[in-house]
């Protein structure tokens, strides 16, 4: 069949228009401890499913979590993966098996947002799995022998999660780096350059963010009688790295309020929740 340039143009355009990934929101949300990364989920599209690898990390979602005492809760939290014994690791293997089943059965169709919380502890579980596979559970990782497989697992499974039919939020911790730039010979005063980057193994600090549309950093900006105040960096270079493909249309500022739905509305994306989950059977 001869090549038809007009039909090819129509095919490419049609594929783009029907590609859900072009309309889906994906973000890495980073920050220091207690910055409010997981708390930000309160403003994401409901219902929400969270796979938690951070022990106790989702307690801040409190009254929104689906439990027998809160059967109408619209945030489902799987804490199965929080309980890990490095000498007998099971978390990552169980997560792989469970995720495959959920994707195959259309489980994620029910949700407006999926969250993996967090990249740092998820990566630890992947490393525990790698060491177990190598017959060295609980031992220190060897450089290329262990870190390369770990990085490959992390990147490949995040790529897989990119195909979910809902928004995808990955939380991550920051690692602080320091470099001495100058020491005053008379006063002894040290001038340092300090910067923060995503806390993940090796080149994954570059490859993982490239998979996401958005890379946000939540920072504190003081407090008042009501408690700490926070802001979200959407575009930043230097001490913190943040970027936004949504910002390229000029609708977002470099610093935004930590509120996903408000940000989506401002950028012209769908901010509506999906239909609510049916109340938990047997709940009170």
Q: Each residue of 78-92: pLDDT tens digit?
A: 999 999 999 999 999
List the domain range (segments joined by +) for residue 190. 25-266
Burial class (CB in 10 A: 0-12, 13-18, 19+), 207: middle
Give the separation between CA 119 and CA 116, rounded to whole angstroms.
7
- Give the pLDDT of residue 189: 77
Whether 48 is in a domain gets the answer yes
Position 107 pLDDT exceeds 80: yes
Q: What is the CATH number for 236? A: 3.40.50
Q: How much is the pLDDT for 47? A: 98
Extract the tokens encoding 206. 């570059």
What phi, psi does 163 have (nearest 5°)?
A: -90, 5
Q: Does 277 fall in a domain? A: no
pLDDT band for position 70 (cuts 50, 70, 90) = very high
Tell me, yes or no, whether 33 lies in a domain. yes
Q: What is the pLDDT of residues 109-152, one digit of tens each?
A: 999 999 999 999 999 999 999 999 999 999 999 878 898 999 99
Asked whether residue 126 is domain-assigned, the answer is yes
Structural domains of the chain, count: 1
- The helix (H) or strand (E) run that includes residue 183 is strand 167-183
Does residue 276 fall inside a structural domain? Answer: no
pLDDT at residue 1, rounded to an integer: 60
* Neighbour-count burial of 96, counting CB atoms closer than 10 A to its CB (0-12 exposed, 13-18 middle, 19+ buried): middle
Q: How many CB atoms within 10 Å of residue 25?
A: 23
Spatial separation of the C-alpha atoms in residues 281 and 263, rounded to whole Å = 34
Domain annotation covers residue 7: no
88 found inside a domain: yes
- In-domain check, residue 102: yes
């Amino acid at each position: 069949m001869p090549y038809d340039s007009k039909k090819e143009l129509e095919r490419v355009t049609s594929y783009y228009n029907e590609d859900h990934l072009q309309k889906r929101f994906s973000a890495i949300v980073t920050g220091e401890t207690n910055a409010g990364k997981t708390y930000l989920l309160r403003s994401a599209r409901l219902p929400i499913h969270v796979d938690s690898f951070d022990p106790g990390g989702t307690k801040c979602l409190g009254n929104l979590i689906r439990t027998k005492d809160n059967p109408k809760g619209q945030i489902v939290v799987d804490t199965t993966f929080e309980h890990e014994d490095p000498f007998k690791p099971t978390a990552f293997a169980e997560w792989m098996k469970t995720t495959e089943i959920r994707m195959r059965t259309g489980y994620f169709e029910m949700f407006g947002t999926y969250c993996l919380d967090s990249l740092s502890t998820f990566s630890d579980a992947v490393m525990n799995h790698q060491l177990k596979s190598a017959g060295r559970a609980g031992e220190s990782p060897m450089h290329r022998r262990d870190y390369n497989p770990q990085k490959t697992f992390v990147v490949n499974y995040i790529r897989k999660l990119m195909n979910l039919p809902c928004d995808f939020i990955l939380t991550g911790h920051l690692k602080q780096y320091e470099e001495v730039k100058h020491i005053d010979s008379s006063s002894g005063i040290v001038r340092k350059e300090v910067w923060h980057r995503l806390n993940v193994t090796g080149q994954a600090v570059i490859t993982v963010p490239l998979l996401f549309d958005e890379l946000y950093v939540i920072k504190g900006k003081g407090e008042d009688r009501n408690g700490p105040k926070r802001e979200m960096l959407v575009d930043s270079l230097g001490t913190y790295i943040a970027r936004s493909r949504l910002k390229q249309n000029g609708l977002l500022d470099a610093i935004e309020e930590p509120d996903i739905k408000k940000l989506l509305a401002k950028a012209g994306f769908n901010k509506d929740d999906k239909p609510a989950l049916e109340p938990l059977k047997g709940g009170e």
